[in-house]
Amino acid sequence: MVRTSAILSAILLLSVELLHLKMALAATFTVGDAAGWTFNMEAWPRGKRFNAGDKLVFNYHPNMHNVMAVDENGYASCTISPPNAPKYTSGHDEIELKAGSNYFICGIPGHCQHGMKIAVVARQIE
């Protein structure tokens, strides 16, 4: 009985440690680097490795831009799709990546068409 409790405690402790390690491995990326969230951003993700749980930080002037988390169709067509797409307007938005494709555009008319959009693919970490 004591041995079983010790084994269960060790498994629980190991599980908690693995969870902390996974959270510690999450990276934070500032979209556009020093320039921030601006025009001609489509190439910014190239050469970077993203994982599920990583955070993207969008820095911009909130009276001039915003960030919309859209689907693939919204990204390709520069439209707000789905209609209830999350909208961020703080000027310093931190968005956690989900596994798979993540698409972001500026929802101000004309901005997406001028390259204010990014597509990021995040790997699932086991």
Show the domains of the chain with their CATH numbers: 27-123 (2.60.40.420)
Question: Rounded to two decimals, what is the model's pTM?
Answer: 0.81
CB 73 within 8 A of CB 79: yes
Q: Tens place of pLDDT for every residue, the chain, 126 residues?
A: 656 665 655 454 544 444 444 445 799 999 999 999 999 999 999 999 999 999 999 999 999 999 999 999 999 999 999 999 999 999 999 999 999 999 999 999 999 999 999 999 999 987
Q: Sign of the C-alpha dihedral, residues 41, 75, 46, 36?
A: positive
